[in-house]
Amino acid sequence: MSGSVNKAIVLGNLCADPDIRRTQDGRPIANVTVATNETWKDKSTGERREKAEFHRVVIFSEGLCKVAENYLRKGSKVYLEGQIATRKWQDQSGNDRYSTEIVLQGFDSKLVMLDGPSGDRSPARTSYDEPDAAGHPASSSALDDDIPFAPEWRG
The whole-angstrom separation of Cα 57 and Cα 18 is 10
Top CATH class, 8-139: mainly beta
pTM here is 0.71
Q: Where are the domains of the chain?
A: 8-139
| Three-state secondary structure call for residue 62 | helix
Each residue's pLDDT tens digit, 131-148: 555 554 544 444 444 544
- Whether residue 143 contacts residue 137, with contact meaning beta carbons closer than 8 Å, is answered with yes
Q: What pLDDT, in 10s, does the model give residues 67-125?
A: 999 999 999 999 999 999 999 989 999 999 999 999 999 888 999 999 865 555 555 55
Backbone angles phi, psi at 106, to 5 degrees: 90, 180
What sign for the dihedral angle of Cα 148, 71, 59, 53? negative
Total residues belonging to the chain: 155
pLDDT for 131 = 55
